[in-house]
Amino acid sequence: MAYALTQGGTPPPQAAVSAPAGSATEPSTPYQPGAQPEASPKRALASSMRVYLEIPSIGVKSALLALGLTSDGHLQVPWKPLLADWYKYGVTPGEVGPAVFARHVDSVETGRAVFYNLGRLARGALVIVKRKDGSTVRFAV
C-alpha cells in the first residue's frame, strides 16, 4: 500500500478535502474517476490522526491502527490482519509528503486479509482517509 500511494516521483496527489463540520474552509473539487490527478495537493492540512481507511474499488473499509519501529529500525509487523495500519512517525494524510499504510494481504489465522485485493488497484483508484479532526482526505492512486 505504501508503494501504491508514494511511488511515481511526486507525493500522492490529493484530489479533494472535506472540511470538518463548522469549518470555514471551502471544499475543494471532488474526485472524478478517470481524471488525471494533480502533481501536488490543493492545500496542505495540519497534522491529524488517521482513524479510518476506505478503498472502494477493492472493498477495503478499515479502522486504522498505529505502527512504529522495532528496536533495529524496521517497521513493526502489523498484528491484526483484518485491520489496516499507518506509520505513526510519518506525515498524516493531507500534510505534505507520503503517508504510509501497511497491512497483511493474507494470514494463517484469517486467510484473506484487509489488503488481499491490493494487486487489483488500478491507476486513478480512489483512496479515502478519515481523520480525527473530522476531515476526509481523498487520494488517487
Spell out the domain ranges in the chain. 2-23+42-140
Residue 20's alpha-carbon distances to 23, 75, 107, in angstroms, are 6, 31, 36
In this prediction, residue 41 carries a pLDDT of 52
Chain segment 13-72, per-residue pLDDT in tens:
333 444 443 333 333 444 444 454 454 556 788 888 888 999 999 999 999 999 999 999
In this prediction, residue 3 carries a pLDDT of 39
In this prediction, residue 42 carries a pLDDT of 63
For residues 97-110, average pLDDT: 86
Q: pLDDT category, 127, cuts 50, 70, 90?
A: very high
Residue type present at position 85: D
Whether 80 shows a pLDDT value over 80: the answer reads: yes
Residue 67 corresponds to which cell in the numbers above?
505502527
Nearest to 41 by CA among 23, 19, 69, 15: 15
Give the DSSP H or E segment for 60.
strand 60-67
Residue 16 CA to residue 30 CA, distance in Å, equals 5
Q: Mean pLDDT score of the chain, rounded to an integer?
A: 76
Give the DSSP H or E segment for 3.
helix 2-6
Residue with the larger pLDDT of the pair 16 and 127: 127
Residue 131 CA to residue 14 CA, distance in Å, equals 14
